[in-house]
Amino acid sequence: MRPSPFATALPAAGALLSLSILLLSEPSAHGAPPAATGADAPQIVPLPADALKRLKSGDPAQVKSALDDVRMSGKGGASAVPAVADLLQQGLAPALTQAAIDAISDTESEAGSTAVAWYTRDRNATVRRSAVQALAHTRGPAAVKALRASLSDPDPGVRGLSATGLGSMKAKEAVGDLFVALEHKVAEAAASIGQLCAGNECDRLAGKLGSVPFDVVTGGLDQMLFRPASDVSDDMKVKVVGRVRELGTAEANRFLRDVQAKWPKAWSQRVKQAIDQAVLATAASPGSAPPGAPTGQPQ
């Protein structure tokens, strides 16, 4: 949010208190008081009235200032997204391209996904990374399609961000693509699979233990184990815990103890029992921590 012009005018001793009173009592743009005034309440900065005019001016400096205002407004800048998308479709100088993608990202408006998706194929890897990050915020079918394609991008950063974005978007249709990406060493795909898998897909992820680095696979298994029972059944969680137990290694013990420590008291006692038994069964593995030792600390 831009600094208030009142902030420098008030005497230092009373500035913060007076400014707080002013902001809390000031009506919103629609004449109603703000819906929430808590410290965590989202702050929406109104888009300046001339922002659209500046976006369409053709003057790079004015366009840049308008894009900065859209970013500052966050979701409040959604009304400008069609104009920003038009600019991207027409083509902009590199610096303005980056600013336009970032502006659409900050609005989180799906209306910008199609325009941003085109830039996931840009020759500049930095632009492609920005585009896939933006699509994770704008979402929608166009975003999912572009991120699935970007799992095979030549740049590892783009591949990783695409995998993470698909997980955050709950794009369950992309699980098959994420498995292919995992097989091609896109480590971030494991966590997203763990967020999205259903039924045998979760067991298939556990089946990667031994062929994919342990910490990569368990990054996904951790995500899966802590999903609600409505997403992943207790039967599947017990089966996955059993797969980790079968490894009988110190790293398996450390992972299981970490899960044990985080398991919510009100959650399935059946799964908890399986975790407890797996911790005990792997405790004697060379390098395992003794009972009662802090989790995550190799001994």
The residue among 62, 139, 150, 64 whose CA lies nearest residue 107 is: 139
Torsion of CA 198, 201, 203, 204, to 10 degrees: -170
**pTM attached to this predicted model:** 0.82
pLDDT confidence of residue 20: 38
Residue 289 binned pLDDT confidence (cut-offs 50, 70, 90): low
Residue 161 binned pLDDT confidence (cut-offs 50, 70, 90): very high
Q: Can you tell me the mean pLDDT for 57-63?
A: 97
Please count the other Cβ atoms lying within 10 Å of the Cβ belonging to residue 261.
12
d(Cα 122, Cα 41) in Å, to the nearest integer?
Answer: 37
pLDDT confidence of residue 44: 72
Which residues partner with 209 through β-bridges? Answer: 212
Do 70 and 84 meet the contact criterion of CB atoms below 8 Å apart?
yes
Do 102 and 112 meet the contact criterion of CB atoms below 8 Å apart?
no
Residue 127 binned pLDDT confidence (cut-offs 50, 70, 90): very high
pLDDT confidence of residue 286: 77
pLDDT at 115 over 90: yes
| Mean pLDDT score of the chain | 87
Tell me which of 1-15, 220-234, 263-277 is least confident: 1-15
Q: What percent of the chain has pLDDT over 90?
A: 80
Do 140 and 108 meet the contact criterion of CB atoms below 8 Å apart?
no
pLDDT confidence of residue 45: 84
Helix 156-168 × helix 175-183 angle, to 10°: 150
Q: Tokens at residue 194, please?
A: 């763990």
Residue 298 binned pLDDT confidence (cut-offs 50, 70, 90): very low
Rg (CA), the chain: 25
Q: Phi-psi category of 51—alpha, beta or left, where left has phi over 0 and alpha has psi -120 to 50?
A: alpha
pLDDT at 18 over 80: no
pLDDT confidence of residue 217: 98
Q: Can you tell me the mean pLDDT for 141-151?
A: 98
Q: Can you tell me the mean pLDDT for 87-105?
A: 97
Residue 38 binned pLDDT confidence (cut-offs 50, 70, 90): low
Q: What SS3 state is found at 212?
A: strand
d(Cα 177, Cα 165) in Å, to the nearest integer?
Answer: 13
Residue 8 binned pLDDT confidence (cut-offs 50, 70, 90): very low
Q: What SS3 state is found at 209?
A: strand
Q: What SS3 state is found at 178?
A: helix
